[in-house]
Chain A
């Protein structure tokens, strides 16, 4: 007997339809899976056998061959278990073939026949958009968020077989117990003092400018970075879908609504490996932290402690908004458009006001050398953060709340997109004079900085983009950039003393 059942596997953040073909014939009893299964997939042989027998269904002693088509593509993961089991049952005549014609099966089987959730249900369901997906109860929200039609759920193999044979109806969908289980975003009002850093967050959110926070330990760099996501507008539908796909593919828990609507915040530790950050690794090319931060904020604390190779790996995605992970057998393009926020101490001892640092020059140089160069150039904003004073800490009223700042950010963002067609950080250097003209006084101020070598050519373009954003935030969306906007932009680009002689301007 021959049977064919539809399912899907995952590659990167994309689902790939897979047809599970089962052939049962006489011969030496055996069970074989062909079609480039990976280790987890090959093991489904044993899971399927146990699950079928635990569900009280017969296990024929025949020769059974399972082919996963297209057979030149590598298949990974345990999500094909259910499809293989259903295929076998059809081939054995336990289930009528017509019953599965418009169904797609995604799920892992337990030895007791129970159905378990797998990572990547969202993209896999997306790949089977013409079919009705059958998934584990735990995957329901994820599948429903993506699927255009109805979604079938089940708790175990037996329930599915009963539904397919018409013995029992399909089990009910789980209760739509929508609870807002997302943790609240920390509010900017908790931050005392730090007027410049607050402004920097606002500018970063409004213009999409990457931000580097420089300051001693305890200055509140992490606290500030965590509050940036609150300033970003909710994800657009397209971006939300992409983010949901990535989170699902990586097996990261999705909010109970099923879709990710809020800008994600990812803060990988500085010991993270290259693969964990940019993605890849397994044969299914799991998305890395930069893809999980798609549409949101990637926060790298202690930037200097990251391995230089890992940081170099960030350069391409920063430029292109995607990361292309290629392996010998497969390659995938993962979305990675994120706002990079990094924090670093100015030197190993933490620094402080001039004269307070007691690192020798060698140590200081070694510490900052990893940062200098191409990566440091990608940051439009470099802000010095100092420990808040005692008066600031004891002051009873906090600063402005996130909501008030987020309003300004959203106005400035929409104005930028409306007038210039893009966020200010994306304005190409050649279009700066058309899209972000300067007033004569502002031009003079920048000229002065350039002449005194306090600004490099690259820094000049970045300052212009940042000052455009500052002007937008001030409400001067259409007029030319004024002197005071440039002055503030210059303050948001602190000069780092990499050594006694050298400064990164």
Chain B
């Protein structure tokens, strides 16, 4: 056994063992120092207690022995150093105190960025990956305005709402920063199109993961990731979610941890809002704008208020009717022509003007109102 490696190196290598769940890693590290735990897992020391039962499984035993014999230990530690990823052990002094007393604390946490952000005010924002244009807009605005107010925004860097929240927070000039909890290794960027966003969050904010560098984003890791988001947030806000969305896992974790829950309401016909509307019916706080969140966080909300100037030219005449019809629910051009009693050509002209001035947006032939509503 090598002696020149710090204990974190052993913990990081253990985290990247095959079949290594949070529970098994926790059992190993709770009772043994990391180097000893590593020796037990790779079969060099006799196991005891709970872990003896895990190692009784021949598959796991063989896989761990193989991993222990390989050069995993050096490789993972090298990667962490190269990427500038810090390894935080449960029980160590630099481990985030927020997670110390969690019902299921991450035994090892990989961090890149500014850990002191966890001392600040934090709001978690989650939602569906398949968001509507309006939902993405809300998420971006909320992320930016919370960051303006100095609140750090916790989310998961996934497609859809998550990505928009981080993007919004990065766009702000305020003190708030993005905090992302991801379900893969720091160097395994998922989804791929968030490459730039991923790097900027690590640089300007904080990027956390329970997975060692090089770990692939397997499906079972996402629910575990959601529990960390819930644990790090003072309030969890759901922007858009279906009846059975992944965001509702975060909601359950938040309920278990007594984290207040809020949701952004959506149209009755909007399937992407059925989950959030249900949450509100069940008693979650309602978020219409950022003030609602700031009140929940008991912060002075006057700073963020004030008249915002909409630079878009105000629609008038037929355009106004068309805009208001779209604002109710997404419409097709047929639907618009019928609802506003316009000819197809007139409706086409109206949406062309509205799209040009940024009031509505088209996707797959459907028109949605975007941006702050017309006042």
Q: Residues of A at under 8 Å CB distance from B?
A: 193-197, 199, 214, 346, 351-361, 383-384, 386, 389, 445, 448, 483-485, 487-488, 490-491, 494-497, 500-501, 503
Q: Which residues of A contact B364 (CB under 8 A)?
A: 214, 346, 351, 354, 384, 494-497
Additional pairs, 13, CB under 8 Å, beyond known A196-B332, A383-B365: A193-B338, A194-B334, A196-B334, A352-B271, A355-B273, A355-B330, A356-B272, A484-B348, A487-B352, A488-B345, A490-B348, A494-B365, A495-B362
B68 at the interface (CB under 8 A from A): no
Interchain nearest-CB distance for B364 vs A (Å):
5
A361, B363: Cα distance in complex, Å: 15
Do A355 and B271 have beta carbons less than 8 Å apart?
A: yes
B193 at the binding interface (Cβ < 8 Å) = yes
Query: What distance in Å separates the Cβ of A451 from its nearest Cβ neighbour in chain B?
Result: 10
Contact between A386 and B130 (Cβ–Cβ < 8 Å)?
no
Complex alpha-carbon distance, A193 and B362, angstroms: 21
Task: Let me know if B129 and A360 touch, CB within 8 A.
Answer: yes
Residue of A199, A351, A355, A445 with most chain B CB atoms under a 10 A cut-off:
A355
Report the stretch among B39-47, B131-139, B249-257 that lies at the interface.
B131-139
A354 with B363, Cβ < 8 A, contacts A386-B335, A487-B349, A491-B351 known: yes
User: Is the pair B333, A491 in contact by a Cβ cutoff of 8 Å?
Assistant: yes
Q: Are A386 and B365 in contact (CB under 8 A)?
A: yes
Please state if A214 and B365 are interface contacts (CB–CB under 8 Å): yes
CA distance A389 to B269 in the complex (A): 14
State whether the Cβ of B86 lies closer than 8 Å to any Cβ in chain A. no
Contact B242 A358 (CB under 8 A): yes
With A196-B332, A491-B333, A500-B193: A354-B366 Cβ-Cβ less than 8 Å = yes
Q: Report how far A245 CA is from B130 CA in the complex, Å.
A: 52
7 contacts between A and B (CB under 8 A): A193-B338, A346-B364, A353-B366, A355-B130, A355-B330, A490-B348, A494-B362
Those of B242-290 within 8 Å (CB) of chain A: 242, 269-273
Residues of B with C-beta under 8 A to A503: 363
Q: Is the CB of B270 within 8 A of A488?
A: no
Q: Which B-chain residue is minimally distant from A499 (CB atoms)?
A: B193
Are A487 and B132 interface neighbours, CB within 8 A? no
Name the CB-closest residue of A to B272.
A355
Task: Say yes or no: B133 contacts A195, CB within 8 Å.
Answer: no
Residue of B nearest to A351 (CB): B364
* Alpha-carbon separation in the docked complex, A352 to B272 (Å): 12
Q: Is the CB of A386 within 8 A of B348?
A: no
Q: Roughly how many angstroms separate A389 CA and B160 CA in the complex, as a whole number?
A: 29
- Beyond A488-B348, A497-B363, whether A354 also contacts B334 by CB under 8 A is no
Question: For the complex, what is the distance from the CA of A299 to the CA of B225, rounded to whole Å?
Answer: 48
Point out the residues of chain B lying under 8 angstroms from A361, CB to CB.
Answer: 129-130, 159, 191
Kindly identify which residue among A389, A448, A491, A500 contacts B159, using a CB–CB cutoff of 8 Å. A500
Q: Say whether B319 faces chain A, with CB atoms less than 8 Å apart.
A: no
Q: Does B61 contact A (CB under 8 A)?
A: no
Report the interface size for chain B: residues with CB under 8 A from the other chain. 39
Q: Is B356 part of the binding interface, using a Cβ–Cβ cutoff of 8 Å?
A: yes
B112 contacts chain A at the CB level, 8 A cutoff: no
Structural contact, A445 and B352, CB atoms closer than 8 A: yes
Cβ < 8 Å to A, chain B residues 180-207: 191, 193
With a cutoff of 8 Å between Cβ atoms, the chain B residues found around residue A445 in the complex are 352
Q: How far is the CA of A445 from the CA of B135 in the complex (A)?
A: 28
Nearest B residue to A354, CB-CB: B132
B216 at interface, CB cutoff 8 A: no
Residues 17-38 of chain B: 1 if any A CB is under 8 Å from the residue's CB, otherwise 0? 0000000000000000000000
Given known contacts A355-B272, A386-B335, A501-B193, A196 and B344 CB-to-CB distance under 8 angstroms:
yes
Contact among A384, A488, A490 with B366 in the assembled complex (CB-CB below 8 Å):
A384
Q: Smallest distance from the beta carbon of B301 to chain A beta carbons, Å? A: 30
Interface: B74 (CB within 8 A): no
In the bound complex, residues from chain A placing their C-beta under 8 Å from that of B133 are 354
Docked pose: A168 CA to B334 CA in angstroms: 70
Q: A357 vs B240: C-alpha distance in the bound complex, in angstroms?
A: 13
Say how far B268's CB is from chain A's closest CB, in angstroms. Answer: 12
Closest chain B residue, CB of each to CB of A502: B193
Chain A: CB-nearest residue to B193: A501
In the assembly, what is the distance between CA of A193 and CA of B344, in Å? Answer: 12
CA distance A359 to B271 in the complex (A): 13
A324: shortest Cβ distance to chain B, in Å?
37
| Residue from the list B338, B351, B356 in contact with A448, Cβ < 8 A | B356
A377 to B273, CA, bound (A): 35
B132–A488 CB distance below 8 A = no
Whether A195 contacts B193 in the complex (CB less than 8 A), given A353-B329, A355-B240, A491-B351, comes out as: no
Q: Closest B-chain residue to A355, C-beta based?
A: B272
CB contacts (< 8 Å) of A487 on chain B: these are: 345, 348-349, 351-352
Using an 8 Å CB-CB cutoff, how does the interface string of B56-71 with A read, 1 for contact, 0 for none?
0000000000000000
Q: Which of A195, A356, A384, A485 contacts B365 (CB 8 A)?
A: A384
Q: Is the CB of A358 within 8 A of B344?
A: no
A485 vs B368: C-alpha distance when bound (angstroms): 23
- The CA of A315 and the CA of B129, in the complex, are separated in Å by 36
Contact (Cβ within 8 A) B366 A483: no
A355 to B362, CA, bound (A): 13
Chain B positions within 8 Å of A194 at CB level: 334
Expressed in whole angstroms, the minimum distance between the Cβ of B346 and any Cβ of chain A is 8
> Is the CB–CB distance between A195 and B344 below 8 Å?
yes
- A355 close to B131 (CB less than 8 A): yes
A353 touches B330 (CB 8 A): yes
Interface: B115 (CB within 8 A): no
Quick one: which of B323-375 are within 8 Å of A by CB? 329-330, 332-335, 337-338, 344-346, 348-349, 351-352, 356, 362-366, 368
In the complex, the answer to whether A196 meets B362 with C-beta atoms within 8 Å is no
Residue of B nearest to A382 (CB): B365
- Per the bound structure, the CA–CA distance linking A195 and B362 in Å amounts to 18
Give the one of A196, A383, A445 with max B CB within 10 A.
A196
Residues of chain A within 8 A (CB-CB) of B345 are 484-485, 487-488
List, in ascending order, chain A residues with CB within 8 A of B270's CB.
Answer: 353, 355
A383→B240 CA distance, assembly (Å): 28
* Inter-chain contact A386/B159, CB cutoff 8 Å: no
Give the docked Cα–Cα distance between A105 and B368 (Å): 69
Known: A193-B338, A196-B333. A357 touches B130 (CB 8 A): yes
CB distance from A223 to the nearest CB of B (A): 15
- Find out whether the CB atom of B338 lies under 8 angstroms from the CB atom of A354: no
A-B residue pairs, 3 tightest by C-beta: A384-B365, A355-B272, A487-B348
B135 A355 Cβ-Cβ under 8 A:
yes
Kindly state the separation between the CA atoms of A392 and B200 in the bound complex, as whole angstroms.
50
Decide if A193 touches B334 in the complex (CB within 8 Å). yes
